[in-house]
């Protein structure tokens, strides 16, 4: 498969992207020497649904996930993972809020009051 640039990708319309996804599924199915029927059965979908995906027709995201799971290609979704990072200022504020020493519990303070 030819590497596509970001510029080319953003220039594509939705149907072109869907066609590219179908070609991806077909490529990896054939690379693993699977028939459409075998892949469809393993993914729990109908063979005609798989044919539609490979031919660039729209499908449900769940169908795509099922296909990619069987093809061992769920790694394509790594780009969707959100990694929240704290800024250095936020980390510093959290460190300032952390307790530096222990204080007496309510039980300890009430015991002291009654001793005299």
Note the pLDDT tens digit of each residue in 35-80: 999 999 999 999 999 999 999 999 999 999 999 999 999 999 998 8
Note the pLDDT tens digit of each residue in 6-19: 999 999 999 999 99
Q: Where in the chain does DSSP place strands (E)?
A: none
Sign (positive/negative) of CA torsion 47, 49, 52, 53? negative
Domains of the chain: 6-76 (1.10.260.40)
Between CA 27 and CA 74 the distance in angstroms is 15
């Amino acid at each position: 498969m030819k590497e596509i640039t970001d510029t080319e990708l953003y220039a594509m319309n939705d149907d072109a992207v869907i066609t590219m996804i179908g070609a991806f599924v077909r490529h990896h199915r054939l690379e693993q020497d699977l028939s459409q029927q075998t892949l469809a059965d393993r993914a729990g979908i109908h063979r005609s649904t798989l044919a539609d995906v490979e031919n660039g027709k729209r499908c449900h995201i769940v169908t795509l996930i099922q296909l990619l799971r069987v093809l061992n290609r769920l790694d394509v979704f790594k780009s969707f993972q959100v990694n929240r990072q704290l800024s250095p200022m936020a980390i510093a504020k959290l460190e300032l809020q952390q307790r530096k020493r222990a204080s007496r519990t309510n039980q300890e303070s009430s015991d002291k009051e009654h001793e005299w």
